[in-house]
Amino acid sequence: MQTVLLMSAPVAGNGGGRDPRLLEGLFSNLPLFRDIPQRSIAHVAGQSRTQRIKRGAALCRKGERLPGVIAMAYGSLKLALRRTGGDEKVVRFLGPNETFGEASILLDRPCPVDVVALADSMLGVIPAAPLQRLLENDCTFARNLVRILGARFLDLLGEIEATVQQNGVQRLAHYLDSLAEPNGDPDTWIVHLPANKTTIAARLGVTKETMSRLLRELTNRELISVSRREILIRDRARLAQLAG
């Protein structure tokens, strides 16, 4: 642990600050900077800043300019599209060591989604300029970006596939299956939902009411049991089968 003496320089009241050490450590573990020389990473970190953001606050709204590529240190964010009627479709959750905004920043396009904190969070903000320069000068960085953007593209296509060819129950079953983690008991699995049920509903493209009914449906079939954000998978095989 760093002492207060080493802690970051002036932190603005708005939650922004500088802390090149911390940023360099954060960036070094990102796929974005894989195999990039440490001095390049340090240089980018020197141009970047940290930002704290409170649960419920928006880092950026759809259509605004993103301040830079976002690299999560801790907490969690949601990326969401607004829907008619005030509700939303969550496109992705963002947790520690994940990044967002590469495409928007490098193509100089406005932010395609709302970016909102689900919990008090801290993240690094890497402005466009040093990334553009790195893209010009370091082929490894360009190749990292090709991998990242390619994977994002294919993931998104997978999302479309799921929403287009599966109904609510199937999507929920698949989602739960994808989050299943081993339990003490070898027969059952546990899922800890990464957000509240309303937000998970938005992630699955249904309303909270529908989500509630879907969970009850699976509970009635004795496939799962629900307790707050903890879901016990009682019959993973049948659940997976349901997912298609």
Partner DNA sequence: CGGAATGTTGATTATATTCAACTGTTGTGG
Partner DNA sequence: CCACAACAGTTGAATATAATCAACATTCCG
Q: Which stretch binds its own copies (CB under 8 A): 41-49, 139-147, 173-181, 217-225?
A: 139-147
Q: Is 189 exposed, middle or buried (0-12, 13-18, 19+ CB in 10 A)?
A: buried
- Measured from the CB atom, the residue of 65 and 83 that comes closer to its own copies is 83
Site for its own copies in 95-114 (CB under 8 A): 102-104, 106-107, 109, 112-113
- Tell me the CA distances in angstroms from 142 to 99, 136, 137, one per residue in order: 16, 8, 9
Give yes or no for a contact between 206 and 87, defined as CB atoms under 8 angstroms apart.
Answer: no
1 near its own copies, rule: CB under 8 A: no
Residue ranges of E strands in 102-193: 114-117, 121-126, 181-182, 189-192
Partner whose footprint covers residue 209, from its own copies, DNA, none (CB < 5 to 8 Å by kind): DNA
Work out whether strand 189-192 and strand 114-117 pair parallel, antiparallel, or are unpaired.
unpaired
Q: Which two tokens stand for residue 29?
A: 């573990």
Binding track, positions 178-207, relative to DNA; x by CB under 7 A: ------------------xxxx-----xxx
Contact residues toward its own copies (CB under 8 A) are 81-84, 89, 91, 102-104, 106-107, 109, 112-113, 135-136, 139, 142-143, 145-147, 149-154, 156-161, 164-166, 205
